[in-house]
Amino acid sequence: MDSDERDEQRIVWAVVGTDIGPLLLAATPEGLVNVVFHATDAVRDRSLKQLASRLGDEPVEAPGSPLLAEAIRQVEAYFAGARHDFELPLDWSLISGFNRQVLRELASGVPFGSVVGYGDLARRVGQPGAAQAVGVAMGSNPLPVVVPCHRVVESDGGIGGFGGGLETKRKLLALEGVLPEPLF
């Protein structure tokens, strides 16, 4: 069995440099399974340990893996301004129930350059009183950037929270033309 065949049977990962800092990308044979912000050594190691625990297999660093190649290409194109939509197979196994329903709606129904309110997203999934639960779903998103939780904002015009930090959210929204570029 060659190395490509072994990679196809496990969790593979790579760290990609971006305008918002290093991102850890992890994939399984089913698709991209995890994106982690600020992937310093400590964050990376903790994230990989959690992945191993949750998925039952030890992640292997494999930046050249066919499972990751397209994800890396599309993430780099997104940050270069050359891609607006991700067209990747996604492995949703790290999320379930209401959170998965909300994130799938977000991925398919909130395009590049637009935003949606927490309450609006709750209504879209048939739970009009669940704005806070939508916020919890955004905080548990295992695939940020690709599943664009940065596009969910407060109904009063506030930016809302963000697991990657508010400065990261501002940068992503500026990249998409929703907010002006920061002056400094």
Name the token pair of 132. 């806070």
Residue 126 identity (one-letter amino acid): G
The catalytic residues are 149
Label each residue of the chain as H, E or C: CCHHHHHCCCCEEEEECCCCCCEEEEEECCEEEEEECCCCHHHHHHHHHHHHHHHCCCCEECCCCHHHHHHHHHHHHHHCCCCCCCCCCECCCCCCHHHHHHHHHHHHHCCCCCCEEHHHHHHHCCCCCCHHHHHHHHHCCCCCCCCCHHHEECCCCCCCCCCCCHHHHHHHHHHCCCCCCCCC
Q: Answer for the pair 74, 87: CB distance below 8 angstroms, yes or no.
A: yes
